[in-house]
Structure 1
Amino acid sequence: MIDVGALRALRSVAALGTLARAAEDLGFTASAVSQQIKRLERQVGVPLLAPAGRGVVLTLAGQALVDSAPDVFHALERCAESARSVAEGAPRGTLRVVSFSTGIRGLLAPIMERVSTRCPDLRMHITEQEPDQALHDVDTGSADLALLHDADGLPVHLPTSLTQRRIHTDVGDVVMHRTHPLARLDLPLTSDDLAGHAWATSPPRTVCYQWFRRLVADLPEDPDVRHLIDDFSTQLSLVASGEVIALIPRLARPPLRDDLVVRPLRRPPKREVHAAWRHSAHASPAIHAVLAELQRTENAGSHLA
């Protein structure tokens, strides 16, 4: 009989490239992962790894075993989910959720109390992960449900083992001090309205910085960017000085101070947020309970400015 834990370890080595990175991903030591794979080699009767410099590579037999592994994991998960579904479909146990930071703040945190009330036997365990790592965690079984955002409008590439559902559209607004000249404008702002004003914005290579550059792309002069800050609460503390304005996603926006105001944009930047889970876990009452609460929040329009 093949050791399922050892098979998962081999698959992690294949995905991450080294025993050390696989060990970190699985929460073991590199020595423990090595022992698991040696045990798996004894069970199947052929070498699965070969030395390559200071690292290892999969043998052809090892790659064949990894290619077949998803079928094994999915079959086992379907067995477990069928058993859970028989128990009156009651959500129970621990649901491991991975999400980007503002998805936790704006989508998951607001539903925690409702999930706890409606599903007293269900516990959510949330870990912050960027979309690529979140997909890996769900695909390999380290997590059950992921919240993902598209990267600058480009859809996330979903493995064939996963399914997804759109749960929210996040929108960016401009935030300013109530004494700022733009605060006197009630209509949605155009890019022309933004000319000549100073900014606090997210650093380069972030989605929100790409939003910002697209927003000001048609202005005749380069924008006056005075602060590059990754944390949105810190951006807002600078906005409160009255010196700068900031482009803030609604999911990332904490409750505002009384001296700050929000103005929507005529052509706001947007990103789609999806939930993703394994096909084999589709019968999970826990996943559907959380999706239902996310849908209730979306239908209620809680994230509108």
Structure 2
Amino acid sequence: MIDVDALRALRSVAALGTLVRAADELGFTASAVSQQLKRLERQLGVAVLAPSGRGVVLTPAGRALVDAAPEVFQALERCAEAAQSVSAGAPRGTLRVVAFSTGIRGLLAPTLAGLAAHCPDLGVRITEQDPDEALHSVDAGTADVALVHDADGLPVPLRPSLTRRHVHTDVGDVVLSRAHPLAAGDAPLGEGDLSGHAWVTSPPGTVCHQWFRRLVPGEPDVRHLVDDFATQLALVASGDVLALIPRLARPPLGDGLVARTLRRPPKREVHAVWRRSADASPAIRALLAALSTRDG
């Protein structure tokens, strides 16, 4: 019989390209992963990896095995879910969640106390990962659920083995000092209101910088490029600059700052993603219910 752990190791090597990276993902040493794969080759009687420079590549037999692996993992997961459903479907064990930083701060952290109260036998383990890495972790079976946001309005593509549910719409606001001329008033700000002012913004290549460039076209007066939102707020407090900050990412403003809504605010959609074979998981359903309550 094929060793399931070795099959999972081969799948990680195929996705990540090296034994070292696969070992890091799986929580083993590279030597342990190598031994797993050698054992797999002995079981099959064929080579599954071949050296390639400083890395490795899959042999045709290894590629065929990896292509067939999702059916194996899905069948095993359905077996586990069937066993859990016999026990009244009570969420228990450890739910492994991967999510982007502000999703952890704004969505997951506020749900944990309520989830623990309703599901005392369920533990949640959270790891910060960017959306692409998070989707890989769920598909590879090293995480159970991922929270991901879309990429500049485009939903992240999913493999057929994964499914998703919308859990939140994140919106950007302009944050400024209460002493700033734009601080007064309640009406949403338009593009004309924002021209001619100085800014601190996230660096190019980030979603928030893309938001900013659409909100303030042309050649805006960008004084500072800062990735950390708390640091952006410290600069805003000086009174000289504005910042465009997603609500999920926004720390408490304090008395000296104010957030103004926008007439056409930038948005990003947040989805929970899990394996289709885990649809019946009581733990995943409990987390989705908690996130739904939070968003409502």
How high is the TM-score relative to the length of structure 2? Answer: 0.98
Matched position secondary structure for 2:259: strand
| Offset of residue 264 of structure 1 | 0.4
Distance 2:157 2:101 in 1: 20
> How far 1:6 sits from its partner (Å)?
0.4
> Any idea what the Cα deviations from partners look like across 1:238-267, whole Å, max 9, x if unmatched?
111111110010001111111111100000
Identity level (%): 73
Amino acid at match of 1:228: L
Q: How much does 1:76 deviate?
A: 0.5
Q: Which amino acid aligns with 1:13?
A: V
Q: Structure 2, unaligned stretches of length 5 or more?
A: none
Residue 233 of structure 1: aligned partner: 230
Residue 51 of structure 1 corresponds to which residue in structure 2? 51
| Separation in structure 2 between the aligned mates of residue 292 and residue 99 of structure 1, nearest angstrom | 17
- Tell me the alpha carbon deviations over residues 63-93 of structure 1, each in whole angstroms, 9 at most, x when there is no partner: 0000011111110011011111111111111
AA partner of residue 244 (structure 2): L
The residue that corresponds to 1:292 in the other structure is 289
Q: Give the 3-state SS of the residue equivalent to 1:138 in structure 2.
A: helix
In 2, the alpha carbon distance for the partners of 1:113 and 1:27 equals 28
Aligned counterpart, 2:157: 157
Matched residues in 2 for 1:236 and 1:30: separation?
43
Paired position in structure 1 for 2:173: 173
Deviations 1:151-187 (A, max 9, x none): 1111101111000001111000000011101111321
Equivalent residue, structure 2, for 1:214? 214
Give the drift of 1:139. 0.2
- Given the alignment, which residue of 271, 294, 302 partners 2:268? 271
TM-score (norm 1): 0.96
Question: 2: CA distance between counterparts of 1:225 and 1:7?
Answer: 51
Matched, 1:83 2:83: yes
| Structure 1 residue 227 displacement after superposition | 1.0
Q: What does residue 302 of structure 1 align with?
A: none
1:259 pairs with 2:245: no
User: Residue type matched to 1:288 in 2?
Assistant: R
User: Could you tell me how far apart the structure 2 residues matched to 1:103 and 1:224 are?
Assistant: 29
Q: Residue 239 of structure 2 is aligned with which of 238, 242, 245?
A: 242
Distance in 2 of aligned mates of 1:30 and 1:93: 28
Uncovered stretches (5+) of structure 1, i.e. residues with no partner: 300-305
In structure 1, C-alpha distance between the alignment counterparts of 2:31 and 2:11, rounded to whole Å: 16
Amino acid at match of 1:283: A
| Residue deviations 1:201-228 (CA, integer Å, cap 9, x gap) | 10111100010011112x5xx1111111
In structure 1, how many angstroms separate the alpha carbons of the residues matched to 2:201 and 2:11? Answer: 40
Q: Distance in 1 between matches of 2:14 and 2:194?
A: 49
Q: Distance between the aligned counterparts of 2:110 and 2:52, measured in 1? A: 48
Q: Which amino acid aligns with 1:230?
A: D
- Counterpart of 2:121 in structure 1 is 121
Over residues 39-59 of structure 1, what are the superposed CA-to-partner deviations in whole Å (9 max), with x where a residue is unaligned?
000111111111222221111
Aligned twin of 2:110:
110
Q: Report the Cα distance in structure 1 between the residues aligned to 2:11 and 2:288, rounded to whole angstroms.
A: 29
Determine the structure 1 residue equivalent to 2:93.
Answer: 93
Aligned residues: 296
Instruction: In structure 2, give the amino acid aligned to 1:84.
Output: Q
Cα distance in 2, alignment partners of residues 266 and 239 from structure 1: 21
SS at match of 1:39: helix
Q: Separation in 2 of the partners of 1:200 and 1:112?
A: 33
2:204 equivalent to 1:204:
yes
RMSD: 0.8
Letter in 1 for 2:198: A
